[in-house]
Amino acid sequence: MLNTWYYSDAPRTVRPMLSVMRRQSGFAEIIGDIDQENATFEARRCLSCGNCFECDNCYGVCPDNAIRKLGPGNRFEFKYDYCKGCGLCPSECPCGAIMMIPEEI
């Protein structure tokens, strides 16, 4: 459900590894640690948790003003009385947090 156009490609950080000869001659860790800069970069990579991070895409594309911002950290409220079901909000959501489910009549 992730919209990949929203995210840039971010390859994994390569961690340093000991050579085979050094592995056989001691008890040091085989896979080394990463520095602070690489750890911060790695933490910012999107792993698609599916949670809203308040990017405001749905709010900006809604032609019916059916989405109301509730403030920082409170996400959004969907006013279903105003929504006509155009489907723009789930198609623009970068993390797949919005789903359109057909209404049973």
* 26-48: pLDDT as tens digits: 888 888 888 898 888 887 776 66
Confidence grade of residue 51 (pLDDT, cut at 50, 70, 90) = confident
Confidence grade of residue 86 (pLDDT, cut at 50, 70, 90) = very high
Separation CA 88–CA 56 (nearest Å): 13
pTM: 0.61
φ, ψ of residue 13 to 5 degrees: the values are -75, 130
Choose between 9 and 21: higher pLDDT.
21
Give Rg (Cα) of the chain: 22
How buried is 4 (Cβ within 10 angstroms: 0-12 exposed, 13-18 middle, 19+ buried)?
exposed
Instruction: Please list the helix, strand and coil fractions of the chain in percent, rounded to the nearest 5, in that order.
Output: 25, 10, 65
Task: Name the amino acid, one letter, at 90.
Answer: P
Structural domains of the chain sorted by starting position, each given as residue range(s) with its CATH number in brackets: 4-44 (no CATH), 49-105 (3.30.70.20)
